[in-house]
Amino acid sequence: MFLQRNFLSLALAAGVLGLASCNKGGGDFTKTKSGIEYKVFKNEGGKYSDRSVAAEGDATYKDRLGKILALNVEYRTAKDSVLFNSRKQQGIPMRIKLQEVTTKGGIEEALALLQPGDSAVFKFNVDTIFAKSFKQPVPPFMKKAGNTMTMYVKAEKLQTEEEAKAAQQTEMEAQQKKMMAYAEQQLKKDDVILQEYIKKNNLTAQKDPSGVYYVITKPGAGAKPTSGQTVSVLYKGTLLDGKVFDSSEKMGNKPIEFPLGVGQVIPGWDKGIALLNKGAKATLLIPSSLAYGQRGAGADIPADAPLRFDVELVDVK
């Protein structure tokens, strides 16, 4: 289901520089007693070299307990497909409070091997990592990709809680401004693309002030929904080239239900569905900034992709 904004619960955070090349570099992986394979690299004058870490852990970790570690991480499947990258998809480091390691074989133990400034590559058994760190079954696509999951990490700095809160607030404000400026420019580009699409497909479309274009293909007889009401919607989502990425048909032809206007779906849906009367069918053409923006959505929706949704507002509760 692509409509939910937090569709990838696996994405705890992330993004590493050129560590993929380190993974292919010389030297064998070391293995912890719990089965984690790892390579750790220290940064000396901008150059990375191997740092030896005992399989039982880093003896200096006890000195870092209670501190906040700012880090970037990237997750990949066994087939080397990127699952999540914070530099690209989050824009700021994640922060973790370092505590006593109570769970072996997962991310908690892996991070305890690192010192500030280190970079590392970790390989986990996919069943173990999902059971111990994510507390959920392994998704089928991960199983299909293979038995391992790789995590690339760059440990940026160690901070007190006060330092971490201040730094995160500053970073988030800067990132928000950057994203808003980018979205504003992208909205203009998407509008040109959508107008060309409308002309090419001989559509008679109206434009909402938000930037969503809509075509009523079957008028509805009921009232329009208001913010907070629960709506039921049948839909088919496609890229502008016609490729279907999601649909009610894939979900057994059952309508999706959600409260309107509270951010549980992409902004273009909150805007577009509110334009329809109960019973109406319509085509929504949504600019990327009101869909999945720069991050895209998995392998099916590229970054900065305007989307088409053919929808039917089945019910308003």
From-to residues of CATH 3.10.50.40 in the chain: 19-159, 186-316
Per-residue pLDDT at 14 exceeds 90: no
Enumerate helices (H) and strands (E) in the chain, giving the number of each: 7, 15
CB-CB contact of 285 with 213 (8 Å): yes
In sequence order, the 6+-apart residues with CB closer than 8 A to the CB of 238 are 244, 245, 307, 308, 309, 310
Per-residue pLDDT at 8 exceeds 80: no
pLDDT digit string, tens, across residues 255-297: 999 999 999 999 999 999 999 999 999 999 999 999 998 888 8
Among 259, 265, 271, 269, smallest CA distance to 317 is for 259
Cα–Cα distances (Å) from 23 to 27, 109, 110, 268, in that order, read 9, 19, 16, 40
Categorize the per-residue pLDDT at 207 as very low, low, confident or very high, splitting at 50, 70 and 90.
very high
Place of tokens 């160690």: 158
Categorize the per-residue pLDDT at 301 as very low, low, confident or very high, splitting at 50, 70 and 90.
very high
Q: Distance (Å, rounded) from C-alpha 193 to C-alpha 216?
A: 20
Categorize the per-residue pLDDT at 6 as very low, low, confident or very high, splitting at 50, 70 and 90.
very low
Percentage of the chain lying above the pLDDT 70 cut? 91
CB-CB contact of 42 with 48 (8 Å): yes
CB-CB contact of 43 with 66 (8 Å): no
Least reliable range by pLDDT among 12-16, 39-43, 106-110: 12-16
Categorize the per-residue pLDDT at 83 as very low, low, confident or very high, splitting at 50, 70 and 90.
confident
Q: Among 3.10.50.40, 3.40.640.10, 3.30.420.40, 3.40.50.300, what is the CATH number of 186-316?
A: 3.10.50.40
Q: What is the CATH number of domain 19-159?
A: 3.10.50.40
Q: Distance (Å, rounded) from C-alpha 207 to C-alpha 195?
A: 10
pLDDT digit string, tens, across residues 95-115: 999 999 998 999 999 999 999
Q: What is the DSSP letter of 60?
A: G
Q: What are phi and psi of 279, to 5 degrees?
A: 95, -10
What tokens appear for 292 in the block?
């999945």
Give residue 270's pLDDT: 96
Give residue 187's pLDDT: 93
Per-residue pLDDT at 309 exceeds 80: yes
| pTM of the shown model | 0.59
Among 116, 114, 128, 105, smallest CA distance to 32 is for 105
Give residue 114's pLDDT: 94
Categorize the per-residue pLDDT at 204 as very low, low, confident or very high, splitting at 50, 70 and 90.
very high
Q: Is 219 helix (H, G, I), strand (E, B) or coil?
A: coil
Among 110, 147, 155, smallest CA distance to 15 is for 155
Q: Considering the chain, what is the average pLDDT of its residues? A: 87
Categorize the per-residue pLDDT at 27 as very low, low, confident or very high, splitting at 50, 70 and 90.
low
Give residue 18's pLDDT: 38
Q: How wide is the angle at C-alpha 258 spanned by C-alphas 253 and 263, nearest 5°?
A: 130
Per-residue pLDDT at 298 exceeds 80: no
Q: Distance (Å, rounded) from C-alpha 187 to C-alpha 78?
A: 36
Categorize the per-residue pLDDT at 176 as very low, low, confident or very high, splitting at 50, 70 and 90.
confident
pLDDT digit string, tens, across residues 122-147: 999 999 999 988 888 998 888 899 99
